[in-house]
Structure 1
């Protein structure tokens, strides 16, 4: 089967100024491990499943002894299938073996869901930012959620109902998501890092929320920071960071960076790739 999601080289962008101090810095290295880092999914199950197919195809085409798959957070909200996305990523994590490690980080949207399970007062904020769609994936009507957003007592009713409807495995998965992960010369976090703090002294609010201070920094953080959170038209590949969030809910594009040794590559799932996958799945199988 032809792979419609073929990896592409991802060069380091040095077009803007301020990178001279990186000329004497050794490039980040994963040693003998390949890393697949996937940007914000936001409840888009078709893209997730296609990306998993693409990664399997990439591993078949480029065999390696061990791979680490890192989800950079914001599995949920905005898209229609948050429950199914949680189910699939949790299952993939449980199915991991000695050849594959699966890490899923907490994004700010995942943290909102976890917070709502103990505090109904967050519903007016979370509901406007995609929580309505996540609750709909657990069987709530828009009217129920909107009532909860307008009335604290109704919000508590929704919270208790979600606890009853949400499998314990899903609650445990969301509650247990780490804020960061490190491997080789790379540091992974949903939003980024505070440039004024060491990687070992980062705070939750920075790892899940930071934007401008991090995004405009040309600091050598000690490791290349791989993140999502701030969507762009394309993946940013810079000397000190890689932004993998391509705004799936607005663009229909899910991106994954492939890091191996000192090389960077890119796998993209867009509407054309989804269409190609569906067509391949519909082709008759010949024995």
Structure 2
């Protein structure tokens, strides 16, 4: 009887920590909102300055592009940050995968790109609306290869699939429950929703992810989702972490909220 009762108990929340002296800010899906990215980076810098010395890193959770008006500007800004601050890293999201697939000539990916906000990405890189609409898929690929800078393409190809810091695992979409991180497949890391979202037991790490939009930060015992739909809500969110503490910054509330 006792064993059956214990098996039904809700798992204890994962008690995640970072090593002493380490501070991390994870940034959710930006989707072409350069205005919000610059605003959030200013909030992060101000918050970081109030917390005393630390080795501070920033982790972008992917989906830099599509839907917002300034995808090219977002990629350029994040690429510059990663070059200037080696402790800034970025994950590949499913929208980066779509963009690169289209750039490489995958016709299905090119069609998908145009359905999921890629028009805005192409416009931000200088392609004209009329030439996009008039182009065949093969012609669209040629236009992309003409106008998307090689440096941006190389940067996007080199993005990480996951990052581990202390007891935290940073991924774009999530993980397949019960599968060790080294055996996770790329598609799940960039695209998964269920069964990850509905999995209650703890993982080997506390998972911080984007990809699935929620109105506010989705705080669960085994995962924290920070995609707050910036491209349509104006709320771009960062999760701050240090030792066993966590806090939230976003471009709407503009206040430090304990998590």
- In the superposition, the TM-score normalised over structure 2's length comes to 0.90
Q: Among 175, 186, 193, which residue is 1:204 paired with?
A: 186
| Pair 1:73 & 2:73 matched | no
Tell me, in whole angstroms, the C-alpha distance in 2 between the residues paired with 1:141 and 1:19: 57
Residue aligned with 1:89, SS: helix
Q: By how many angstroms is 1:145 displaced?
A: 2.3
Residue aligned with 1:119, SS: coil
| Pair 1:40 & 2:26 matched | no
Tell me, in whole angstroms, the C-alpha distance in 2 between the residues paired with 1:178 and 1:115: 17
Which residue matches 1:239?
221
Q: By how many angstroms is 1:53 displaced?
A: 0.7
Q: How far does the alpha carbon of each residue in 1:219-239 deviate from its partner, in whole angstroms, 9 at most, with x for none?
A: 211100000000000001111
Q: By how many angstroms is 1:78 displaced?
A: 0.1
Which residue matches 1:113?
99
Q: By how many angstroms is 1:30 displaced?
A: 0.7
Which residue matches 1:218?
200
Which residue matches 2:17?
29
Tell me, in whole angstroms, the C-alpha distance in 2 between the residues paired with 1:146 and 1:41: 26
Q: Among 81, 88, 95, which residue is 1:102 paired with?
A: 88
Tell me, in whole angstroms, the C-alpha distance in 2 between the residues paired with 1:221 and 1:19: 16
Q: How far does the alpha carbon of each residue in 1:51-108 deviate from its partner, in whole angstroms, 9 at most, with x for none?
A: 11111111111123201100000000000000000000000011115xxx11100000
Higher mean displacement: 41-50 or 52-61: 52-61
Residue aligned with 1:212, SS: coil
Tell me, in whole angstroms, the C-alpha distance in 1 between the residues paired with 2:27 and 2:233: 16
Decide whether aligned partners of structure 1 residues 223 and 167 sit closer, same or farther in structure 2, where only a CA change above 3 A counts: same
Q: By how many angstroms is 1:162 displaced?
A: 1.8
Are the equivalent residues in 2 in contact too, given 1:198–1:221 (CA < 8 A)?
no
Are the equivalent residues in 1 in contact too, given 2:28–2:228 (CA < 8 A)?
yes
Which residue matches 2:140?
158
Tell me, in whole angstroms, the C-alpha distance in 1 between the residues paired with 2:162 and 2:111: 28
Q: By how many angstroms is 1:143 displaced?
A: 2.7
Tell me, in whole angstroms, the C-alpha distance in 1 between the residues paired with 2:42 and 2:24: 16
Q: Among 110, 113, 125, which residue is 2:112 paired with?
A: 125
Which residue matches 2:51?
62
Q: By how many angstroms is 1:120 displaced?
A: 4.4
Q: By how many angstroms is 1:19 displaced?
A: 6.4
Tell me, in whole angstroms, the C-alpha distance in 2 between the residues paired with 1:250 and 1:65: 34
Number of residue pairs aligned between Structure 1 and Structure 2: 245
Are the equivalent residues in 2 in contact too, given 1:186–1:224 (CA < 8 A)?
yes
Structure 1 stretches lacking a partner, 5+ long = 1-17, 149-153, 274-287
Decide whether aligned partners of structure 1 residues 19 and 136 sit closer, same or farther in structure 2, where only a CA change above 3 A counts: farther
Are the equivalent residues in 2 in contact too, given 1:34–1:64 (CA < 8 A)?
no
- In the superposition, the TM-score normalised over structure 1's length comes to 0.82
Q: By how many angstroms is 1:166 displaced?
A: 1.9
